[in-house]
Structure 1
Amino acid sequence: MTISALLFDKDGTLFDFSATWSNWAETVLDDLAGGDPALAARLAERLGFDRDARRYDWRSPVIAGTTREVAEAIAPELATRDIDALAARLDAQSARTPQVPAVALRPCLGALRGRGLKLGLVTNDSEASARVHLQGADVLDLFDYVAGYDSGYGAKPGPGQLREFLAREGLDPAQAAMVGDSPHDMAAARAAGTGAVAVLTGPNPRAVLEPVADAVLGSIGELGGWLDRQDATGGR
């Protein structure tokens, strides 16, 4: 069946994960630790972030978790029970963090729209932050659908965000593919019945992604070629 729609993850897929979220972590650690280096070190450990190497451990909750899950992970170090307020604080910093595109987004996504494809974004970030980031990259208008963990359809690896998009567009799952950089993205695709395409612009290596994806691409810039191959082989 011909691919008629693509659903994108945001961080690590549209935007380079390390370049973007290392800056976010540094700012969050400075903000929450208030100048206490020991507290900053403990928070960094809970985030799975190595400040010296500016690198995340692959098990970090920041990679695939929701903002609330990140807040829950660091809350014990802050002696706070107000997870909602902490998550809102993290979301606000996320919205302020400059995003580093993985490729030239407007030409890439514009070419996909030129093929007649519907485009959606499904992220475990908040919907508001996602819209700010897409607007900042001048691509919000190219998306037919944007959903975050707080949009009311659940979060990945659950399929709710994807199923809502399919329902709105009247699409069979086989007509769509999920494009992401993590096993969570691929699990959501499997659960929703869509194709599962992984990219290597996030922290997960090929060895982690190949067993759970239909295809592994260097970046979303290779999607045009992948779609051509799908058309040539009838999706086989």
Structure 2
Amino acid sequence: MNDDDPTRRLPTLDKSGSATAGPSDAERPPREEREESGVGGRARRFWAARRVPAALVALVVLGAAGLLLYDVAAVRADRPAMAWRKRLAEELATRHLDDVWVLAGAAVAVALGLWLLLLALTPGLRAVLPMRRSTPDVRSGLDRAAAALVLRDRAMEVPGVQSVRVAVGRRKAKARAVSHFRELDEVRGDLDTALGDGLRQLGLARRLALSVRVRRSAKR
């Protein structure tokens, strides 16, 4: 075992005072697996509350149901039905299934249904990146804009970098830098090292891929 390995666990002392060696490298899971799952379990994406779509659907259903119940109660009380219900019943009875308006209404209904199913089956909150879990009862996330700001500050510390733009996605971080001195290959290598260390220190559950591009600043 390499004595310089920073991940090696040091021996611990039990109550009797004897030294107990930590788990060997063969007993520990791979580093990538430990980073994705964390000590407290696998870190999954955060689910959005979907308050706005849920409120809109609830209002539409409530309004339609209330209006229909009112019209049915009025008919039961020997009052004439509303004009819109008579017109709707007439249109449904006379129009054929291959009519343009019938097909358009069906397409809209299918699209709305698929949209609602997509909202129900996907987590949402794409702007929040899950972080490694250290305890089972605690979940944490990092905003993508905040992660990009941290990486941008790390990139600006590299000598030769004049300006840089960093975009952090769910699976990849992209850095576009402008250098005003030093060789571009040297700047790119230092940026790879600095941003790679920055990504590891963010503590994200999933290791993001890194893309770095460096160009020379325009001469004035």
- Structure (1 or 2) with the larger CA radius of gyration: 2
Q: Relative contact order: is structure 1 or structure 2 higher (C-alpha 8 Å, sep ≥ 6)?
A: 1
What TM-score results when the alignment is normalised by the length of structure 1? Answer: 0.22
What TM-score results when the alignment is normalised by the length of structure 2? Answer: 0.23
Higher-helix-fraction structure: 1
